[in-house]
Amino acid sequence: MLTLALTVVPYFPDYFWSLSRDGKYIAVVNTIEHAIQIIDIATRSVRALRIGKAGSVMSVSWSADSGHLFVTMTTTQDAEDSSALLYLDLQGKEQELFETKDGLLFCPVASPDGRMLAFTERIQENNAAMIERF
């Protein structure tokens, strides 16, 4: 059994991490540096992938081939909170896959064959409805 103890991120009660599907890497959200830290388990080396899009990184997960990351983040546009889902390669090149202005995106998970992606969207509504005579 291999035990890996690294101090790579200051403790935050809500930080996110993800183990690659091939078991070689761990991706950790670093909210202070606006980056994803990639830990090579075999060599114990750590490198940071900076996120170019402005906002706060929320969660991270690996693609099915362990060659890319899915990253969710909050952004601010026109004084409104919004959220984005990014596709990030291991050199730091990012592509925006989805953006919403009505909710927050969390916890993307790729299917084992890499054809589908599931994620959670939290929507906060301020409207109230009343149903009578039911």
Which has the closest alpha carbon to 21: 113, 120, 105?
113
The tens digit of pLDDT for each residue in 74-90 reads 886 665 678 899 999 99
What's the whole-number mean pLDDT along residues 82-105?
88
Say whether pTM exceeds 0.85. no
CB-based burial, 4-29: b 16+ in 10 Å, e otherwise? eeeeebeeeeeebbbebbeeebbbbb
Query: How many Å apart are CA 132 and CA 110, to the nearest integer?
Result: 43
Three-state secondary structure readout of 39-89:
EECCCCCEEEEECCCCCEEEEEEECCCCCEEEEEEEEEECCEEEEEEEEEE
Which domains, and CATH codes, for the chain?
A: 17-119 (2.120.10.60)
Classify residue 91 by its DSSP letter: T
Specify the higher pLDDT residue, 55 or 21: 21
What are the tens digits of pLDDT across the range 49-71? Answer: 988 887 888 889 999 999 999 99
